[in-house]
Structure 1
Amino acid sequence: MNKLSTIGYETDTQAGLIARLRAAEVDVVVDVRAVAASRRAGFSKTLLANSLAAEGIGYLHLRPLGTPKPGRDAARAGRVDEMRAIFEAHLEEPAAQLALAQATELAKDKRVALLCYEDDAACCHRRIVADRIRQTLKCEVADL
């Protein structure tokens, strides 16, 4: 069974993030941001995907696993419990269920890292996604 990882880039550089991914032997980054654009250099979807590919790491953006805007607003305001409630409800939507199934299937055979902005996985929706995948696959989760 492959280990599932989560990673945030809030206080990192693209090179630092890639180094952490390589150290963990990650095969594929699954981007779980609703909006895969970033004001941080190197973290917008196309540039990040190309940079990862150059290092032999795959990239998949699963937009339906991103937090809806009200959840992002709650997280920015420090209302983590509210964000979690909004995201848990969002995960019941069909598109999110399909994306979760896709991420779970990928994690069966590959070392996957779920990517989002927030450094602390405990305050990020990616922990919820990771927990759902862990429940299905009975895998270990590491926060990089």
Structure 2
Amino acid sequence: MAVAYTIGHSNHSLERFVELLRQFEVDVVADTRSQPHSSFCPHFNRESVKSWLEKSGIRYVYMGKELGGRPEGKQFYDPEGHVFYGKVADADFFLRGIERLERGLSRYRGIALLCSEENPSVCHRRLLIARVLTSRGIQVHHIRGDGSLQSEQELLAAEEAAQLSLFERDAWKSIPSVLPKKPRDSSSKPSETPVFAASSTSV
């Protein structure tokens, strides 16, 4: 069975970040941030982290356009700015990203999905992406900041009583609002297009 990892950069140094990736033999990082930059940790801005990873022998792929937690289009948001994950999960762009990721999982030793939050339980990499991957038969493991590993199955078992049915699409939303105001026509637009073209030969 294919295995995918997730990781949040939090306030790690780049050295510590690479150390965590190497601990679990990750050789590709798929950046799933809609906005791949951080004012608090500028060393995790897209070009900076890409350069550091590639110097460390780890490939970087930007997938925020396909798998980001703040998609373009007001149809993906409720009036308070929560993301309708059910609608995102059914969107063509998201499914293309999932299929691209599945191709990568068949080719590389370890792929880690990158976002910003250390805790996966409050991040779309778990609430959206990991949930979809799990439903497609892929094991997901979350790399924590202290070097421990949590499996998605363990987390699901711990909160089984509160889990939503996959059919309750309208209730499947982001926990916090991701917008400061009501959603706009083009919310959280990524600053750049992916650096690698989606094809059968790329992640």
TM-score grouping bracket, smaller chain normalisation: 0.7 to 0.9
TM-score, length-scaled by structure 2 = 0.59
Matches within 5 A, 1:37-116: 37-39=37-39, 40-63=41-64, 64-68=66-70, 83=82, 86-110=84-108, 111-116=110-115
Asked if 2 retains the 8 angstrom alpha-carbon contact of 1:8 and 1:118, the reply is yes
Secondary structure in structure 2 of the residue aligned to 1:91: helix
Question: How far does the alpha carbon of each residue in 1:64-115 deviate from its partner, in whole angstroms, 9 at most, with x for none?
Answer: 2111279xxxxxxxx9xx84x5233223221111112111221222211000
Cα distance in 1 for residues equivalent to 2:16 and 2:30: 17
Cα distance in 1 for residues equivalent to 2:104 and 2:133: 10
Cα distance in 2 for residues equivalent to 1:17 and 1:88: 31
Q: 1:49 deviation in Å?
A: 0.9
Gaps of 5+ in 1: 71-78
Asked if 2 retains the 8 angstrom alpha-carbon contact of 1:5 and 1:114, the reply is yes
- In structure 2, relative to structure 1, the CA distance for the partners of 1:2 and 1:22 (3 Å cut) is farther
Percent of aligned pairs sharing the same letter: 24
Q: 1:2 deviation in Å?
A: 4.5
Gaps of 5+ in 2: 73-79, 144-203
Q: List structure 1 segments (4+ residues) > 6 angstroms apart after TM superposition.
A: none
- Whether 1:8 aligns to 2:8 is yes
Count the aligned residue pairs: 132
Secondary structure in structure 2 of the residue aligned to 1:42: helix
Asked if 2 retains the 8 angstrom alpha-carbon contact of 1:65 and 1:91, the reply is no
- The one-letter code of the counterpart of 1:66 is G
Cα distance in 2 for residues equivalent to 1:99 and 1:139: 15
Higher RCO (Cα < 8 Å, 6 or more apart): 1
Cα distance in 1 for residues equivalent to 2:2 and 2:90: 26
Partner of 2:129: 129
TM-score, length-scaled by structure 1 = 0.81
Structure with higher Rg: it is 2
- The one-letter code of the counterpart of 2:4 is L
Asked if 2 retains the 8 angstrom alpha-carbon contact of 1:14 and 1:41, the reply is no
